[in-house]
Structure 1
Amino acid sequence: MLRSPAAALLRRLAPRLTGCSGGAGSSTRQSLPPYISSSSSFLARFSSTPTSPPPPSSVGARDDEAEDDKLQGSSSDSGARLSISVDRAGLYSPPEHSHEPSSDSDLVKHLKSIIKFRSGPISIAEYMEEVLTNPQSGYYMNRDVFGESGDFITSPEVSQMFGELIGVWAMCLWEQMGKPEKVNLIELGPGRGTLLADLLRGSAKFVNFTKALNINLVECSPTLQKVQYNTLKCEDESVGDEKRTVSKLSGAPVYWHASLVQVPSGFPTIIVAHEFFDALPIHQFQKGSRGWCEKMVDLAGDSSFRFVLSPQPTASLIFLSKRCQWASAEELEKVEQIEVCPKAMEITEQIADRISSDGGGALIIDYGKNGIVSDSLQAIRKHKFVHILDDPGSADLSAYVDFAAIKHSAMEASDDISVHGPMTQSQLLGSLGINFRVEALMQNCDEKQAESLRTGYWRLVGDGEAPFWEGPDDQTPIGMGSRYLAMAIVNKKQGSPVPF
């Protein structure tokens, strides 16, 4: 059922195509359902056993003591000989220098150096952070990874309708806030900027809304910042003695930030986080014979990467304990592995604090579960799944979003906010009027555009394989409608957001 505020806004959207993007046959970020098996006690004693024999120590230990030097008296001295022995067991013995070229990438060398320097494994969270956002060689830092020519496709790349309807949600929230003259529109992890560009184009007729916007993009990749600059049709202009960047799609000023905390506060805030939380680094924990222990990344004897279990308790167990406090005993008894994302908890707290103090709300859309996530970490390269440890930096790493943890993190951060959802992406877009929008667009397009619209519509709101597809089997559109969830966090003073 289309609610009246959204319906009123949707009817005023221009019934035209702005370039039907997307198509079929490309992998969206997804994985098989997390593996779940039953077990009994929880958080007994924290210890661990390696999943494979421990690697040789990077310290060059020697079994016997080497006699380094012997001091003797003169040949005529009949006294006992004095000997000094040096224990080298704790000294680091570097590998022999070789002039042979190495096939390892700079990122792989960097990861191996960290493990060797510590003489032990690193957490999966640290591995993910280095692989995705290492300043020199991280996956996101120096390339455009989205779209048909990249490694995966997200909803904004599938159809312009997605960004337009997120714009409807943002305008409804702005009206609920009392139509403030200035508002911070923040997107976390904006990718190419496609979602925001469609949002601005779709809302262009609502002049008071677009005039109120200060656009803030939280993006750490210099390469993607340049792509976003072009997508939003940005230009630099002088204002007095200062210069600022403006999007010609709306006339709104545009700013880039490395993190949410860098975005200036003081204005009511609208935050959009689409496929942002799934790329945040996670810790994985596995139930062993003597309790829970952390799954980590280490080097095998042949210098390849492998998974092991921590030989002793890790500091990250505090986050596991916190996550388990939010779960029932029955839920905990069913899992053998648990994924925890401390960064997601931290950023959610920042969102809740900002909305509490400045007013506004946040919309989070991602694939995940409304409960404990087990083993969901995945790697995608060229739209195909690959092994997580295969050629680090060449594939996207992501994991299911724990929406229950996001909800609890937000509610514990502030009493002035309310959390709504999650609901499925199909429910969200359907309530915002995607059926009306696709019908309007179909009236003004040719057959090729109509096919693209039907395909994009199914991928956004459908479930499973599209029944109408007549193309190659390996390009059948797979619906995201029920696999992606949406959650809203808003200031309590504004009431329930549309369409929750």
Structure 2
Amino acid sequence: MLRKFLLQASTRRNFSASSSSSVAFFRQCSSSSSSSSQIPNSHFVEHMEDTNETPPSATISIDRTALYNPPEQSHEPSAESELVKHLKNIIKFRGGPVTVAEYMEEVLTNPKLGYYINRDVFGADGDFITSPEVSQMFGEMIGVWAMCLWEQMGRPSKVNLVELGPGRGTLLADFLRGVSKFKNFTDSLHIHMVECSPTLQKLQYRNLKCVTEDSADGNEKKGINSTITVSPVSWHASLEQVPTGLPTIIVAHEFFDALPLHQFQKASRGWCEKMVDVTENSSFRFVLSPQPTPATLYLMKRCKWADSEEIFKLDHIEVCPKAMDLTQEISKRIGIDGGGALIIDYGLNGVVSNSLQAIRKHKFVDILDNPGSADLSAYVDFAAIRHSAEEVSGVSVHGPMTQSQFLGSLGINFRVEALLENCTEEQAESIRTGYWRLVGEGEAPFWEGPDNQTPIGMGTRYMAMAIVMCLLCSVVFPCHVLIINEMLISICEEENVKNIIVRIKNKK
């Protein structure tokens, strides 16, 4: 105990000499925040007052030879995770709460402790299931869309195919298998996976059936290729790292919903940003900022895009600056290099209000409960994405439309019929269930199994939007069904690919 006291005294002495101005700042924040508005059943943390103790000035020499040093395992175990401690330290040393966006970013993508970084969160054994995990048809339809776009671009010999947040790589694996017979298309592809999780990168490498080739002397790695289509594959931490200069096809499926967002709540003094703070009993709670924050600029921009009546009736608004900025980055790249981007996510074509949610083991849980153990996501504001893209010259925006309309226009009904022709009854049940989840609305009417396993349709909850070069048509809408159906024939049956391409060109 004596040793612990002396260490604390030494630390206090060093801190007080160099941080008196910081303590004054924290006091000022405490006094200003104590009168600010809060959400129901929440209170601001009271900042600790300085005890003004005078640290010992003399140097004390201690003989530690007779002191008892307990073994490490005798210490009481902590119930808090490392991420929880990390978040509380950020709030403590900052002297006040953090934004919801900062909270989300730490929880989801902290380089060491983030939810997505060190685990596989997808599928039945994870926390949620995405459309590619539901049915192979989803990835196949995205492949059809991308090939239509490639045809409209004039069939360039080299194309960057980029997927943002590829998950396990399931979507892209089904995509490549579906278009594998179109040699000219697959030969043009250089695949770029934008993924920050080392764990998911390994799963993507495996599911794309990648191989690493060595150079002739065996000393350096030559490159990584997917054996599904013999296409080169590269991984990047962000879109900025993907090389420019080539026509680019970008796919972002369930990527925008996990981008950090800011929440605002209407109070007596106007719109206040919602923050995450720590209570006296060391639990997390929401509070409201006493003053305008930098994100208020994005709130003002978002409100300008909306009708005043739409804003007036809301008590909460969510804005996602990263989604707006990323959309403009995508649009600028497409406007300069050519190509297009497809964004599919669950969301609304309008202002989003208080949609942030946490999912653990396929169930909704409290957002602040054991951060890092559940996925955090929110509805995507497709109207904000559209407006952000339209601010960039050289591109056109198409949509949003529902996922059901999008997949229907790409010929998914044709694909289902082909799959059902040659399958067992068990396989047919799986195909029908997967199809309903992709395009249906609500509970599947044909389901005869347990009630708690009833397939729920995502067809209207998910939306699709395309951003393409102005010179290109939209390949999201039904005007290209004739072209698309010819492509689907090559997925379903063994036919001469060259003859199919000729017929496609004639129908264009």
Q: TM-score range by the shorter chain?
A: 0.7 to 0.9
Deviations 1:214-273 (A, max 9, x none): 000000000000000000000001356651000000000000000001000111010000
Paired with 2:173 and 2:78, the residues of 1 have a C-alpha distance of 43
* Aligned-partner SS, 2:448: coil
Deviations 1:144-165 (A, max 9, x none): 0000000000000000000001
> What does residue range 132-143 of structure 1 map to in structure 2 within 5 Å?
132-143=108-119
Q: CA deviation at 1:321?
A: 0.9
Instruction: Tell me which residue corresponds to 2:197.
Output: 221
Instruction: Tell me which residue corresponds to 2:147.
Output: 171
Of residues 337, 361, 370 in structure 2, which corresponds to 1:382?
A: 361
Q: Is the 8 A contact 1:48 1:293 kept in 2?
A: no
1:418 aligned onto 2:396: yes
Paired with 2:49 and 2:427, the residues of 1 have a C-alpha distance of 66
Of residues 50, 53, 62 in structure 1, which corresponds to 2:43?
A: 53
Paired with 1:358 and 1:67, the residues of 2 have a C-alpha distance of 66
Q: Larger % of helix: which?
A: 2
Paired with 1:249 and 1:239, the residues of 2 have a C-alpha distance of 21
Q: CA deviation at 1:497?
A: 2.4
Q: Which amino acid aligns with 2:433?
A: T
Q: Is the 8 A contact 1:48 1:288 kept in 2?
A: no
Q: Which amino acid aligns with 1:49?
A: S
> What does residue range 370-449 of structure 1 map to in structure 2 within 5 Å?
370-412=349-391, 414-449=392-427
Q: Structure 1 residues 68, 461: closer, same or farther in 2, change over 3 A?
A: closer
1:268 aligned onto 2:257: no
Of residues 177, 192, 206 in structure 2, which corresponds to 1:230?
A: 206
Instruction: Tell me which residue corresponds to 1:456.
Output: 434
Instruction: Tell me which residue corresponds to 1:85.
Output: none
Instruction: Tell me which residue corresponds to 2:339.
Output: 360
Of residues 78, 85, 88 in structure 2, which corresponds to 1:102?
A: 78
Q: Is the 8 A contact 2:398 2:476 kept in 1?
A: no
* Aligned-partner SS, 2:471: helix
Q: Is the 8 A contact 2:466 2:476 kept in 1?
A: no
Paired with 2:382 and 2:223, the residues of 1 have a C-alpha distance of 37
Paired with 1:265 and 1:290, the residues of 2 have a C-alpha distance of 46
Q: CA deviation at 1:139?
A: 0.4
Paired with 1:68 and 1:248, the residues of 2 have a C-alpha distance of 68
Instruction: Tell me which residue corresponds to 2:104.
Output: 128
1:327 aligned onto 2:303: no
Paired with 1:242 and 1:115, the residues of 2 have a C-alpha distance of 44
Paired with 1:314 and 1:320, the residues of 2 have a C-alpha distance of 10
Q: TM-score, normalised by structure 2?
A: 0.81
Which structure is richer in relative contact order (CA contacts within 8 A, separation 6 or more)?
Answer: 1
* Aligned-partner SS, 2:330: helix
Q: CA deviation at 1:457?
A: 0.4
Deviations 1:196-223 (A, max 9, x none): 0000000011110000000000000000
Q: Is the 8 A contact 1:490 1:497 kept in 2?
A: no
Paired with 1:190 and 1:449, the residues of 2 have a C-alpha distance of 26
Q: Structure 1 residues 67, 344: closer, same or farther in 2, change over 3 A?
A: closer
Deviations 1:392-423 (A, max 9, x none): 000000000000000111111x2100000000
Q: TM-score, normalised by structure 1?
A: 0.82
Q: Is the 8 A contact 2:212 2:221 kept in 1?
A: no
Paired with 1:61 and 1:168, the residues of 2 have a C-alpha distance of 66
Q: Which amino acid aligns with 2:465?
A: M
* Aligned-partner SS, 1:494: coil
Instruction: Tell me which residue corresponds to 1:491.
Output: 469
> What does residue range 46-85 of structure 1 map to in structure 2 within 5 Å?
48-51=36-39, 52-57=42-47, 59-62=48-51
Paired with 2:123 and 2:46, the residues of 1 have a C-alpha distance of 42
* Aligned-partner SS, 1:392: coil
The number of aligned residues is 422
Paired with 1:48 and 1:212, the residues of 2 have a C-alpha distance of 58
Q: CA deviation at 1:68?
A: 9.2
Q: Is the 8 A contact 1:287 1:337 kept in 2?
A: yes
Paired with 2:336 and 2:371, the residues of 1 have a C-alpha distance of 40
Deviations 1:422-471 (A, max 9, x none): 00000000110111101101111111110000000000000000000000
Paired with 2:174 and 2:54, the residues of 1 have a C-alpha distance of 75
Q: Is the 8 A contact 2:44 2:277 kept in 1?
A: no
Q: CA deviation at 1:50?
A: 2.5
Instruction: Tell me which residue corresponds to 1:116.
Output: 92
Q: Structure 1 residues 131, 67: closer, same or farther in 2, change over 3 A?
A: closer
Of residues 196, 204, 215 in structure 1, which corresponds to 2:172?
A: 196
1:465 aligned onto 2:443: yes
Paired with 1:66 and 1:109, the residues of 2 have a C-alpha distance of 27
Q: Which amino acid aligns with 2:50?
A: A
Instruction: Tell me which residue corresponds to 1:4.
Output: none
Paired with 2:53 and 2:431, the residues of 1 have a C-alpha distance of 76
Over the residues paired in the alignment, what is the CA RMSD in angstroms? 1.6
Instruction: Tell me which residue corresponds to 1:475.
Output: 453
Instruction: Tell me which residue corresponds to 1:77.
Output: none
Q: Is the 8 A contact 2:147 2:185 kept in 1?
A: yes
Q: Structure 1 residues 181, 102: closer, same or farther in 2, change over 3 A?
A: same
Paired with 2:265 and 2:221, the residues of 1 have a C-alpha distance of 54
> What does residue range 220-299 of structure 1 map to in structure 2 within 5 Å?
220-238=196-214, 243-299=222-278
Q: Structure 1 residues 498, 403: closer, same or farther in 2, change over 3 A?
A: closer
Of residues 136, 146, 154 in structure 1, which corresponds to 2:122?
A: 146
Q: Is the 8 A contact 1:197 1:232 kept in 2?
A: yes
* Aligned-partner SS, 1:493: coil
Q: CA deviation at 1:495?
A: 2.4
